[in-house]
């Protein structure tokens, strides 16, 4: 073994001659011991432990907590590396990393001793039992006895909740589970049907990967969802570290912590972590804290409680600290009280409030000196906002081509996007990527239209307006055109990848939110539309009136914010 190796240990995989990895399958030639290891249940039971086991569990907790204070392994010749074992499980490597991380930071940013950890758990769970929201995925998971059905219910909700607000997900989740109540139902569905139901939810690759995962479980894993976070992440497409931990803890009772956007905020405030929360060091430390805090008897509830706290109390802009069940353990709140005491000068000298005092140099978990404490922000000084690159800007010309006198009523043309990339497999109006303006834009768009519908009258192509839609990494401006085939012979044949739909069919098709905005512009400007009707608010962004600072503040206050996985902590969505 090379002690200076920088290659991180990963679960053993098979490699094909093409270089692609393959996951272990339950084939006859494969030892059953490996398959049993993949499907093994976690040691922790799903239900709460009997009271007679409490003393033994308490002893184990003390040993686990005390182990976080031990010295890290002897550093090797390469700075920043640690001894690893070839083929060691991912969980073992993570536990090694947690020990090193905890031993290398100030105790100020750690939970110390069983009493403090137990107080955090008890206070948070007591609050959660009293205040938790009644959500459909929680009801379904709590009432489901079958472990695979329970895991499926959690899996769907966690994927939908990535980068999407709870209020939006509820309706989608309800309709999804009504249509595909089991993994087998989803596996037998078509991708077209999945995209159709997912339309409008955004980040469409999530639905596609969920469909792929269901098919893999049914076709390759015997219909059984992997039982541990490690095997979930290893075997299921689109399942990252957070989603795997959520499924394993909530559905199977595995004592594994999770970190999503809400948990990041809670832990950064509770332990006064002011460094960039998206950095590798801070991310690693947050996962270590989450693992230390997870309740072995109620791991799923503890994880959900931490997320619930961040979603409803420890919010980004207007936290309700007076209602926080762990306020007494929150170092950010303690810092606020300290600053208030110093400002009032009611006590001589500095109040007795603990601060970070690293042995030498700047603490890597504290805010940098260039970003001092802002007394006007209070606890919202934590966490530090990560600097994000602005989305790249692109322009696309798109046209709503309509046959007003088609057989069976007016119809509009839609074409299907490629099976990979942005909005993969969805339907859209014929579009071309172009320069922001110019005659070439019209020519390129007309050529694209003729590719799908044959010769067209160029003089009727009218520019109707503009739609700006921002995806996760692209700010896309659609120049909206319209063309109506009034006197021409209706088109009856179309090439593969195109279809003519009625207005009713369009609204139920697998189209993106951006295309629905484009269609609203067309409907508001097409011949025969009511001239007195209100202009579409998305037709001309340049004409929008910028809200006043006061209005922006009100909008920010009332806008719900329930993020789940931060992209840096989980799988990337489109």
Which element (helix H / strand E) includes 270?
A: helix 261-270
pLDDT on residue 353: 58
Domain covering 109-343+362-381 in this structure, CATH number: 1.10.1670.10
Could you tell me the pLDDT band of residue 298, with boundaries at 50, 70 and 90? very high
Q: Which of 34-38, 170-174, 486-490, 511-515 has the lowest mean pLDDT?
A: 34-38
Cβ–Cβ < 8 Å for 29, 102: no
Which of the pair, 30 or 413, is modelled with greater confidence?
Answer: 413
Say if residue 441's pLDDT is above 80.
yes
Beta-carbon-side half-sphere exposure of residue 161 (alpha carbons within 13 Å): 27
Range 405-419 average pLDDT? 88
What contacts 331, CB < 8 A, 6 or more positions away?
108, 269, 270, 271, 272, 354
The tokens for 144 are 């489901």
Cβ–Cβ < 8 Å for 172, 212: no
Residue 305's alpha-carbon distances to 243, 316, 416, in angstroms, are 16, 17, 42
pLDDT on residue 19: 39
Cβ–Cβ < 8 Å for 413, 430: yes
By annotation, the residues acting in catalysis are 158
pTM listed for this prediction: 0.68
Cα 31 to Cα 23: distance, rounded to the nearest angstrom = 14
Say if residue 489's pLDDT is above 60.
yes
Say if residue 161's pLDDT is above 50.
yes
Cβ–Cβ < 8 Å for 256, 291: yes
Could you tell me the pLDDT band of residue 531, with boundaries at 50, 70 and 90? very low
Q: At what angle do helices 299-312 and 113-131 cross, to 10 degrees?
A: 70
Could you tell me the pLDDT band of residue 432, with boundaries at 50, 70 and 90? very high
> How many C-beta neighbours within 10 Å does residue 534 have?
7
The tokens for 281 are 């060091």
Could you tell me the pLDDT band of residue 357, with boundaries at 50, 70 and 90? low
Cα 542 to Cα 471: distance, rounded to the nearest angstrom = 19
Q: What percent of the chain has pLDDT over 70?
A: 70
Q: What is the pLDDT of residues 60-115, one digit of tens each?
A: 444 434 433 333 333 333 333 333 333 445 555 555 555 555 556 788 899 988 99
Range 283-312 average pLDDT? 97
Domain covering 392-524 in this structure, CATH number: 3.90.79.10
Cα 573 to Cα 164: distance, rounded to the nearest angstrom = 11
Identify which of 205, 112, 182 has the alpha carbon closest to the alpha carbon of residue 418.
205
Domain ranges (residues) in the chain:
109-343+362-381, 392-524
Q: Which of 227-236, 274-283, 421-430, 527-536 has the lowest mean pLDDT?
A: 527-536
| Residue whose pair of structure tokens reads 């909700």 in the numeric block | 157
> How many C-beta neighbours within 10 Å does residue 273 have?
29
Cβ–Cβ < 8 Å for 249, 44: no
Could you tell me the pLDDT band of residue 391, with boundaries at 50, 70 and 90? confident
What are the φ and ψ backbone dihedral angles of 226, each rounded to 5 degrees? -55, 145
Beta-carbon-side half-sphere exposure of residue 493 (alpha carbons within 13 Å): 2
Could you tell me the pLDDT band of residue 389, with boundaries at 50, 70 and 90? confident
Cα 30 to Cα 487: distance, rounded to the nearest angstrom = 67
Say if residue 34's pLDDT is above 70.
no
Cα 125 to Cα 360: distance, rounded to the nearest angstrom = 38
Could you tell me the pLDDT band of residue 373, with boundaries at 50, 70 and 90? confident
Range 309-317 average pLDDT? 96
Cβ–Cβ < 8 Å for 277, 293: no
The tokens for 489 are 């012979």
């Amino acid at each position: 073994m090379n002690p200076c190796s920088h290659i991180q240990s990963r679960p053993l995989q098979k490699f094909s001659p093409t270089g692609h990895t393959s996951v272990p399958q339950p084939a006859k030639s494969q030892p059953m011991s490996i398959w049993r290891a993949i499907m093994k249940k976690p040691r922790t039971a799903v239900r709460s432990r009997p009271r007679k086991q409490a003393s033994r569990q308490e002893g184990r907790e003390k040993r686990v907590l005390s182990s976080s204070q031990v010295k890290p392994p002897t550093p090797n010749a390469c700075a920043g590396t640690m001894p690893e074992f070839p083929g060691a499980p991912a969980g073992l490597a993570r536990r090694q990393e947690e020990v090193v991380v905890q031993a290398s930071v100030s105790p100020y940013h750690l939970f110390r001793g069983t009493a403090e950890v137990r107080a955090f758990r008890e206070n948070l769970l007591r609050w959660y039992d009293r205040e938790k929201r009644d959500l459909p995925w929680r009801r379904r998971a709590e009432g489901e006895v079958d472990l695979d059905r329970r895991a499926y219910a959690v899996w769907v909700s966690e994927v939908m909740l990535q980068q999407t607000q709870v209020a939006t997900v509820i309706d989608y989740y309800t309709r999804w589970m009504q249509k595909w109540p089991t993994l087998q139902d989803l596996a037998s569905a078509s991708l077209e049907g999945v995209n159709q139901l997912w339309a409008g939810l955004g980040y469409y690759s999530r639905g596609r990967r969920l469909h792929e995962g269901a098919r893999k479980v049914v076709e390759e894993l015997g219909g059984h969802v992997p039982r541990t976070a490690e095997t979930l992440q290893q075997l299921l497409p689109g399942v990252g570290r957070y989603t795997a931990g959520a499924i394993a803890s909530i559905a199977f009772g595995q004592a594994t912590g999770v970190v999503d956007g809400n948990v990041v905020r809670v832990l950064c405030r509770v332990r006064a972590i002011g460094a960039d929360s998206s950095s590798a060091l801070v991310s690693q430390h947050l996962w270590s804290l989450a693992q230390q805090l997870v309740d072995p008897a109620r791991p799923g509830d503890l994880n959900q409680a931490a997320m619930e706290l961040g979603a409803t109390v420890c919010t980004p802009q207007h936290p309700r600290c007076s209602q926080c069940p762990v306020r007494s353990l929150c170092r950010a709140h303690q810092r606020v009280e300290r600053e208030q005491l110093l400002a009032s000068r009611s006590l001589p000298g500095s109040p007795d409030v603990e601060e970070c005092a690293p042995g030498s140099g700047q603490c890597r978990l504290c805010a940098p000196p260039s970003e001092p404490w802002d007394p006007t922000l209070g606890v919202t000084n934590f966490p530090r906002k990560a600097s994000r690159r602005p989305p790249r800007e692109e322009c696309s010309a798109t046209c709503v081509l309509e046959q007003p006198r088609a057989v069976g009523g007016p119809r509009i043309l839609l074409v299907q996007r490629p099976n990979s990339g942005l909005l993969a497999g969805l339907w859209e109006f014929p579009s071309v990527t172009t320069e922001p303006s110019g005659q070439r834009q019209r020519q390129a768009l007309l050529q694209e239209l003729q590719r799908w519908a044959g010769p067209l009258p160029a003089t009727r192509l009218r520019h109707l307006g503009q739609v700006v839609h921002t995806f996760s990494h692209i700010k896309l401006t659609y120049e909206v055109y319209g063309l109506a085939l009034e006197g021409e012979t209706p088109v009856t044949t179309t090439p593969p990848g195109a279809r003519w739909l009625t207005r009713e069919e369009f609204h139920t098709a697998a189209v993106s939110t951006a295309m629905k905005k484009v269609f609203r512009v067309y409907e508001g400007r097409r011949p025969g539309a009511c001239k007195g009707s209100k202009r579409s608010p998305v037709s001309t962004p340049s004409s929008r009136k910028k809200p006043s600072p006061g209005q922006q503040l009100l909008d920010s206050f009332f806008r719900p914010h329930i993020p789940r996985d931060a992209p840096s902590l989980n799988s990337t969505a489109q």
